[in-house]
A and B are shown apart, each in its own frame.
Chain A
Amino acid sequence: MLGIIIGVASVIAMLAIGEGSKESIRTTISSMGSNMITIKAGADVRGGVRQEASVMESLTLSDYEAIKAQSTLLSYSSPVVDGRGQVINGSNNWPSSIYGVNPEYLNIKVVGLQSGSMFTDTEVQTAAKVAVIGQTVVENVFPDGQDPVGQMIRFNNIPFKVIGVLEEKGENTFGQDQDDVFIAPYTTVQKRILAIDHLNQIMSSAISEEDAPNAVLEVSEILREQHKLTDTDTDDFTVRSMEELISTFSSTSEMLTILLVAVASISLLIGGIGIMNIMYVSVKERTKEIGLRMAVGGKGSDILMQFLIEAILISITGGILGVILGLGATVFIEKFLNWPTSVAMYSIVISFVVCAVTGIFFGWYPARKASALDPITALRYE
C-alpha cells in the first residue's frame, strides 16, 4: 500500500517539477524573441539594379493596419522606422540608433523597463517628443549616475524627454548591443527625424513559437492582398521568423519531453515492482490462511476472487492517496523550495491508471498461484 502511494505520489511530483521546468525554460527561450516576425519591404529591381530594401518605400502604415486588423495568429505588432544619429545631453554625446515604434514593441522584443514608463498610444498619435532609452545610451550620456527619467536630451537637433529606461539585455547572437537603442513614437521619428511617411519594417510576435510558420504565411497573404499583387507577381516584401530560435525552442522542448517520459516510466516501473512485491509477499505470508480457506470449502475461484478484490481495493485506495500526496508534495515544493511546478492532468491519469493496472495484474498473478495451491501443502506451510 505504502509502495503504491509513494510510487504514484513520486510520479506526480516528478512530472510536476519536470513540467514546471519545461515551462520555465520555454519562457526563457521565448524571452529571446523566438516568436518574433519581421516584415520588410522587398528588394526591387530598378533598371536591372537590385535595390536595398531600406530604400524601398513600399511598406506603409496601411499595411500595418491591415495586418493588425486581419491577422489571427499575431499577438503584438508594431510599425518600425529607424535611423542613426547623435544622442546629446549637455557636453556628453553618443552615436546611437533611433527606433520609432508603438508601445507594443516592448512586448515583441520581450524587454521590460528598469524605471519610468513606456509612452502611450496617445503620445504616439500626438507625435510627442518622448523617449525610452537603453542602458548603453544611459551610461554614455549620463556618466555621472544621474537618473535619466524626466531629463531632456536631444537626438540630433530634436529635444526629447526621457520617460523610461530599458532593462539591460546584453548583446544578441550577432554581437549587436541591444542596449544601444533610443526608442520613440514612430510618428515622432517619421516626422521630426527622418521626414518620411513609409515604414522600414513591421515587427510582430506570433501567439506561440508553434504558430510562427503559419503566421508568416498569413502575413504574406494579407500583404499580397494589400499590395494588389497578382498570382504571377513575386512578393515585394519579405516576412521572416526566427527560424534558428524556433528550432532551438522546439528541440529543447522535445528533449525535455523525452526526459520527462523517461523519468516517469522509470518511476512507474519501480512503483510497479514495489506493488508486485507487496502483493507477492501478501499471498506468500497468507499461504496457511489460503490452505485453511480451502479446507473449509473455499474453491480455487473463491480464493482468486478474494485476492483480486483485495488487490483492486489496495491499488485504487493507494492510487487515490498517492494522487493526494503527490499534489501535496507539489504544492510544498512550489511554496518552500520555489521551484517552478506545473501539475499536468495527464500525469495524474497516467500514474493512477498504471498503478491500478500493475496493482491488479501483480495481485492477480500471485492470487492465481494461491488458488492453484494444494490445500495439504498450504496448510502445512510455515
Chain B
Amino acid sequence: MSKAIIKIEDLKREFTMGTETVHALRGISFDIKEGEFVTIMGSSGSGKSTMLNILGCLDQPTSGTYEIDGVRVKDLSRNELATIRNEKIGFIFQSYNLLARTSAIENVELPLLYNSKVSTEERRKRAIEALEKVGLGERLHHTPSQLSGGQQQRVAIARSLVNNPVMILADEATGNLDTRTSYEIMALFQELNKQGITITFVTHEPDIATFSSRTIVLKDGEVMQDYENHNIQSAANELAKLPKQDD
C-alpha cells in the first residue's frame, strides 16, 4: 500500500450567514494515496467548492483534521498556509488564471518566485522542463493571448508542476474547453498520473470521472459514494475516436 498523502477525518465546515449557520461540509473522511487520480464529483451546493478550498489550504475547516504530506493544516497561520500551498500543491483553475501580458515561461516561474530556496537559473531551468512536459517547449515566450485555450491550460498545468507538488488540485480544469481539447487535457493528466503524480480533480462532468482511478461523490456536504474505478478509460483512445476535424 503506498503512503497516504491526504488524510481527512470528520471534516466539517460551517459558514455563518447572518443568523443562520450553513453546514457546507458535515463530517467528511477519506484518504488520498500517492499516485491516485481522484475525481471529486457533486452537483452545485454539494460542498465540493468548499472541499476544494480546504484541500487547497485556501480555507480552514471548522472542525476535524486535515493532513497533507504529514502536516496538520489546522491552526496554521496565513503565511504558513501560503508556504504549504507553495511547496505541496499545484493549482489548476477552470479559467486558467494566467497573468496576461506575461510570457508562458514567466507564468510558469511564478510559484518559484515565492520560494526563496530556488535560484534564478534553477527557476528558469525547471520552468522550461515543465513546459516541455506539457508539450509547449516551442512556445516559451508566447503570452496567453497568443495561445489557444487548450495551450493556456497546458501552461497552467506546467505552472502547477513546476514546484514538484505532492498533489495537483484541478478545479473544473476542462470546464472552459471543448470536448476535443478537454480529452487532450485529460490525456495529459493521465500521462502525468502514470509518471506518479497524484491528481485530485474536482468536476461535475461524469465522463471526466471515467478517466480517473477513483471517484468521490459529494452530496449535501457528505460523501455519498467513494469507489475505485476498475475500468479506466484512456483519454487518448477517446480522442482518437472523435471525428476528425477539418483543420
Contacts and interface: CB of A to CB of B under 8 A. Distances in A.
The interface size bin for chain A is 10 to 19
A300 B114 CA distance: 11
Contact of A376 (B58, B99, B163): B58
A299 B79 contact: yes
A3 interface: no
Interface residues of B, number: 21
Nearest to B114: A297
Given A297-B86, A375-B58, A302 B114 contact: yes
Contacts of A379: 58, 93, 97
B99 A289 contact: yes
Interface string B65-109: 000000000000011001101110001010001010000000000
B64 interface: no
B221 interface: no
A11 B56 CA distance: 50
Nearest to A375: B58
A295 B99 contact: no
A59 to B, nearest CB: 83
Given A289-B99, A376-B53, A379-B93, A295 B58 contact: yes
A24 to B, nearest CB: 50
Contact of A296 (B53, B78, B79, B114): B114
Q: Is the interface of A mostly helix, strand, loop or mixed?
A: helix
A111 interface: no
B110 interface: yes
Contact of A300 (B58, B79, B85): B79
A26 B85 CA distance: 68
B171 to A, nearest CB: 9
Contacts of A302: 114
Contacts of B86: 296-298
A293 interface: yes
Nearest to A298: B114
A288 interface: yes
A299 B99 contact: no
B159 interface: yes
A379 B58 CA distance: 10
A294 interface: yes
B110 A293 contact: yes
B53 A295 contact: no
Interface string A260-297: 00000000000000000000000000001101111111
B191 interface: no
Nearest to A378: B58
B57 to A, nearest CB: 9
Contacts of B58: 295, 375-376, 379
Interface in A337-359: none
B59 interface: yes
Contact of B114 (A288, A299, A375, A376): A299
A297 B97 contact: no
A126 B142 CA distance: 92
A297 B87 contact: yes
Contacts of A376: 53, 58-59
B115 interface: yes
B59 A296 contact: no
A208 B203 CA distance: 84
Contacts of B99: 289, 292
Nearest to A291: B97
Contacts of A301: 79
Nearest to B88: A297
B82 A299 contact: yes
B111 A296 contact: yes
A295 B56 contact: yes
A336 B62 CA distance: 72
Contact of A294 (B82, B159, B163): B82
A289 to B, nearest CB: 6
Nearest to B91: A295
Given A293-B110, A376-B53, A298 B82 contact: yes
Interface string A53-82: 000000000000000000000000000000
A364 B12 CA distance: 37
A379 B172 CA distance: 14
Contacts of A289: 99
Interface of B: 53, 56, 58-59, 78-79, 82-83, 85-87, 91, 93, 97, 99, 110-111, 114-115, 159, 163
21 contacts: A288-B97, A292-B97, A293-B114, A295-B56, A295-B91, A296-B85, A296-B86, A296-B110, A296-B111, A297-B86, A297-B114, A297-B115, A299-B78, A299-B82, A299-B83, A300-B78, A300-B82, A375-B58, A376-B59, A379-B58, A379-B97
Interface of A: 288-289, 291-302, 375-376, 379
Given A294-B85, A296-B163, 15 more contacts: A289-B99, A292-B93, A292-B99, A293-B110, A293-B114, A295-B56, A295-B97, A297-B83, A297-B85, A297-B87, A297-B163, A298-B82, A299-B78, A379-B93, A379-B97
- In order of increasing CB-CB distance, the 6 nearest A-B pairs are A297-B86, A296-B111, A297-B114, A299-B82, A292-B97, A299-B79
